[in-house]
């Protein structure tokens, strides 16, 4: 059964407003008779009008007024007649007054209704009014756009049909909302998580409230919903949050400052680059990040660029909180408001410190490679010359009596040749073109073997201490080069302590993780430390110590190749070297060499007196005529038959013409056809032929696709003595047989 209280006529909100105003106007007219001041005013006005009419009538119709008639005691008929005329006149005046007042009230109501309707249409919020039944009675244009319903179609529709409100994907309980509004008179608020499903199927975000409509008598006659479409604002806020997240998580360091240079914001990356926290930076001036590298003119150029509302881009050096410097690729952009006035500056900085360090390392490597190529080429030619000198000196020494005075001169020549050979080995090691004889050894063995020699090399006031790890792992290295490297480090340490001091050699096994040392793979390494308590080095010197020909020693006391050779040798063996130094406190060099699971095998030396010649036929291939003559002569002197060839092509022709060849001795670096390629072609003709290579340098073209570490038993390194040549030839022949 329908509640009679809900049975109200269908009318719009404007009609409600007009009816209420009319009722209020009628009430005002009735109230005029109840208010004493207004009643006496009305009686006075009627009395004055009656007196005026009586006076006019007396003048026009009678000889005296009605007042005079009472005073003169005129007949009753005349008096009643005059009273009736006055009453009719007064009634007509009152009716005219009421008509004029009602007309003015109607015009006021129309103006008020028009104002009310215009106001509702002009409000930016969506307004939806419902009656006590919860049915729509009014919608302004904004509400029609928001819901997708036209007013004529929405009138008398249930609120849930026209304005379906949802929160977190679930419908609002519209009946409960109307219950609170109509029955309880309690306002309802809709938060920003509210959505409205409109007639088009879209679901804009809305916020707002609903309030009861109360008439002049205090009765709730409906409710009005005021909703705001916040879809664009919410999307803008989400976009702002995403952008803020991007800025916060950006790898580039971002700083925002106002036009006075006061920092307003820095992202976490800037905190990392600068070393300062957000709280330490915000509110301070950007000048705190200036380094002394840039002068005032630099910053004036930056300022002038920004004053022209242009973006400044360039290389900026930032002062870190720890005093170090960070190299930044920066851009500073003016930020303008809606009026085009610059209000902020945003600085985006990419830390290129590491990239520049890598670039410097690349330049250094390229420089060392270029010098190495030059040094390798010189050493190769010099090795050939030394081979001839040392060879003939040895032959001369074998033909003269040891007591002869000439023998002493020959011995000095031999010593000079050995010194020159050591220098060329340093050059070749630096250029990474030497043919290393890599064997499995324990570094402790090499250090112990050379400890006596090291003590003779250092100054008398310098103490040498050995702290060797008994469990140190074995490494695969060229023992001679390892000894040379340690000797260079120890001699340099001694030279750094002219007033005396202490040199420590320490070995230990260490395990490196990923990225712990940039150039090394994770794994087990034998570490050799050579440290001193001498003068030490500053940072600038430390950056250059491995450069070829760079030395801190006086002219004539250092070649600048020692540390370069150590650096080259260590890297060629798959390791790395680090240098740590503090001025006036000392220096420590740490060599890392990868350990192997193999054990050390002691080398067996064959006594030179047991070296014998033979009668085999040997093909000797060498592009240097002097070495070819020397080598052939030495072999022939011991009974061998020698077939000579000055290059690979001639060697193939000679081999094809020979009836029998028992061995080939060939140089590696030769024009047209190097020793390795020659060996490949000879092996196709005679697979079992023993081959011995001789060389003082192996270039990239020669050793391509070959592991030179496997040539230890088939390589004779220049410069060599005749006895060494004869020994290696005999060993090669015996091994093949």
The DSSP result for 561-606, as a single string, is -HHHHHHHHHHHTT-EEEEEEETTTEEEEEEEEEEESS---PPPPP
For 648, phi and psi rounded to 5 degrees?
-65, -40
**DSSP helix/strand/coil, 557:** coil
Q: 12: alpha, beta or left, given left = phi > 0 and alpha = psi -120 to 50?
A: beta
For 509, phi and psi rounded to 5 degrees?
-95, 130
**DSSP helix/strand/coil, 125:** coil
Residue 53: what pLDDT? 59
Do the domains 250-351 and 608-736 sit in the same CATH topology, yes or no?
no
Residue 662: what pLDDT? 94
Residue 110: what pLDDT? 72
CATH architecture of 123-235: 2-Layer Sandwich (3.30)
Q: What one-character DSSP code corresponds to residue 238?
A: H
Residue 109: what pLDDT? 67
Q: Say if residue 401 is preceded by a cis peptide, omega within 30 of 0.
A: no
DSSP H helical segments within 400-507, as ranges? 405-431, 443-457, 479-495
Give the fold, CATH level 3, of 608-736. Rossmann fold (3.40.50)
Residue 168: what pLDDT? 77
Q: How many whole angstroms separate alpha carbon 686 and alpha carbon 617?
A: 14
Q: Which helix (H) or strand (E) holds 475?
A: strand 474-478
Round to the nearest angstrom and report the end-to-end CA distance of the chain.
125
Residue 42: what pLDDT? 54
Picking from 459, 579, 552, 448, the residue whose alpha carbon sits closest to that of residue 505 is 448
Tokens linked to 392: 């003939």
Tokens linked to 309: 């509302």
**DSSP helix/strand/coil, 662:** coil
Q: Domains of the chain: which residue ranges?
A: 4-119, 123-235, 250-351, 443-596, 608-736
Q: How many whole angstroms separate alpha carbon 622 and alpha carbon 667?
A: 5
Q: 443-596 sits in which CATH class?
A: alpha beta
DSSP per residue, 326-344: EEEEEEEEEEE-TTS-EEE
DSSP per residue, 509-543: EEEE-TTSSTTS-SEEEEEEEEEE-S----HHHHT
Is 668 in contact with 651 (CB distance < 8 Å)? no
DSSP H helical segments within 123-227, as ranges? 141-147, 151-154, 159-162, 174-178
Is 491 in contact with 471 (CB distance < 8 Å)? no
Q: Which residues contact 467 (CB under 8 A, 6 or more apart)?
A: 504, 505, 506, 507
Q: Which residues contact 442 (CB under 8 A, 6 or more apart)?
A: 472, 473, 474, 475, 600
Q: How many whole angstroms separate alpha carbon 496 and alpha carbon 669?
A: 40
Model pTM score: 0.47
Residue 5: what pLDDT? 33
Q: Which residue has the tokens 């010359």?
A: 385
Residue 265: what pLDDT? 92
The CATH number corresponding to 250-351 among 3.30.450.20, 3.40.50.720, 3.40.50.970, 3.40.140.10 equals 3.30.450.20
Q: How many whole angstroms separate alpha carbon 562 and alpha carbon 491?
A: 10
> What residues does 334 pair with on adjacent strands?
345
How does pLDDT run across 30-52, given as a tens digit for each residue?
433 334 444 445 555 665 666 56
Helices and strands counted in the chain (H then E): 23, 24
How does pLDDT run across 313-326, given as a tens digit for each residue?
999 988 888 888 88
Is 214 in contact with 172 (CB distance < 8 Å)? no
- For residue 609, the Cα-to-chain-centroid distance in whole angstroms is 69
Helix 562-572 crosses helix 353-399 at what angle (to 10 degrees)? 100
Mean pLDDT split into 10-residue runs, the chain, 737 residues:
36 46 40 43 58 57 50 56 68 72 72 69 84 90 90 90 84 83 87 88 89 87 90 86 86 91 92 90 89 86 90 90 88 91 92 84 73 73 83 81 79 79 65 61 88 82 91 86 86 87 92 82 92 87 75 53 79 88 90 83 46 86 92 91 93 90 92 89 92 77 56 79 89 87
């Amino acid at each position: 059964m329908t509640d009679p209280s809900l049975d109200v006529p269908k009318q719009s909100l404007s009609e409600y407003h007009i009816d209420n105003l009319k009722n209020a106007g009628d009430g005002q007219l009735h109230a005029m008779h109840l208010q004493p001041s207004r009643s006496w005013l009305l009686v006075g006005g009627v009395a004055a009008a009656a007196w005026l009419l009586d006076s006019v009538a007396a003048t026009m119709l009678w000889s005296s007024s009605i007042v005079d008639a009472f005073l003169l005691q005129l007949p009753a008929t005349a008096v009643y007649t005059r009273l009736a005329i006055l009453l009719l006149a007064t009634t007509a005046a009152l009716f005219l007054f009421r008509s004029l007042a009602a007309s003015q009230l109607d015009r006021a109501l129309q103006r008020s209704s028009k104002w009310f309707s215009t106001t509702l249409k002009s409000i930016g919020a969506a307004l939806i009014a419902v009656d006590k039944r919860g049915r729509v009675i009014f919608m302004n244009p904004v509400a029609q756009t928001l819901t997708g319903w036209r007013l004529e179609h929405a009138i008398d529709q249930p609120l849930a049909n026209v304005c379906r409100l949802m929160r977190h994907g679930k419908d609002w309980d519209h009946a409960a909302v109307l219950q609170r509004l109509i029955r309880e008179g309690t306002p309802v608020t809709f938060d920003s998580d509210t959505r409205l499903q409109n007639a088009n199927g879209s679901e804009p975000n809305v916020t707002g409230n609903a309030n009861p409509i109360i008439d002049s008598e205090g009765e709730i006659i409906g409710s009005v919903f005021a909703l705001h479409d916040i879809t664009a604002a919410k999307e803008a806020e989400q976009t702002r949050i995403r952008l803020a997240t991007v800025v916060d998580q950006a790898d580039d360091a971002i700083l925002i400052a106002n036009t006075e240079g006061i920092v307003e914001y820095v992202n976490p990356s800037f905190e990392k680059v600068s070393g300062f926290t957000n709280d330490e930076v915000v509110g301070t001036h950007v000048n705190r990040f200036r380094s002394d590298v840039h002068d005032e003119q630099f910053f004036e150029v930056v300022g002038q660029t920004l004053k022209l509302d242009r973006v400044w881009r360039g290389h900026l050096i930032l002062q870190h909180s720890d005093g170090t410097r960070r190299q930044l690729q920066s851009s500073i952009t003016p930020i303008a408001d809606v009026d085009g006035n610059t209000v902020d500056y945003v600085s985006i900085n990419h830390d290129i410190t590491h990239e520049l360090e890598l670039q410097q390392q690349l330049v250094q490597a390229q420089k060392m490679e270029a010098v190495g190529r030059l040094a390798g080429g010189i050493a190769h030619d010099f090795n050939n010359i030394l081979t001839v000198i040392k060879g003939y000196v040895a032959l001369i020494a074998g033909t003269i009596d040891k007591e002869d005075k000439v023998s002493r001169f020959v011995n000095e020549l031999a010593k000079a040749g050995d010194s020159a050979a050591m220098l060329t080995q340093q050059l070749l090691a630096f250029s990474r073109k030497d043919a290393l004889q890599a064997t499995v050894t324990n570094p402790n063995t090499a250090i112990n073997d050379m400890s006596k020699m090291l003590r003779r090399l250092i100054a008398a006031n310098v103490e040498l201490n050995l702290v060797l790890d008994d469990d140190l792992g074995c490494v695969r290295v060229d023992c001679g080069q390892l000894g040379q490297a340690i000797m260079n480090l120890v001699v340099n340490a001694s030279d750094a302590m002219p007033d005396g001091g202490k040199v420590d050699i320490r070995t230990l096994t260490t395990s490196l993780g990923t990225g712990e040392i940039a150039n090394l793979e994770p794994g087990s390494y034998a570490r050799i430390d050579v440290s001193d308590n001498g003068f030490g080095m500053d940072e600038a010197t430390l950056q250059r110590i491995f450069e070829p020909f760079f030395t801190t020693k006086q002219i004539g006391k250092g070649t600048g190749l020692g540390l370069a050779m150590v650096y080259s040798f260590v890297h060629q063996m798959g390791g790395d070297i680090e240098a740590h130094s503090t001025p006036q406190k000392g220096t420590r060099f740490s060599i890392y060499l990868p350990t192997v699971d193999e054990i050390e095998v002691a080398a067996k030396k064959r006594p030179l007196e047991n070296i014998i010649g033979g009668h085999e036929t040997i093909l000797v291939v060498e592009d240097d005529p002097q070495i070819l003559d020397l080598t052939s002569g030495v072999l022939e002197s011991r009974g061998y038959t020698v077939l000579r060839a000055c290059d690979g092509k001639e060697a193939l022709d000679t081999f094809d013409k020979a009836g029998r060849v028992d061995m080939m001795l060939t140089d590696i670096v030769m024009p047209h056809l190097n020793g390795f390629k020659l060996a490949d072609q000879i092996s196709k003709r005679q697979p079992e032929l023993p081959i011995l290579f001789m060389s003082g340098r192996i270039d990239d073209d020669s050793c391509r696709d070959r592991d030179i570490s496997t040539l230890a038993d088939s390589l004779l390194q220049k410069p060599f003595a005749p006895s060494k040549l004869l020994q290696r030839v005999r060993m090669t022949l015996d091994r093949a047989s």
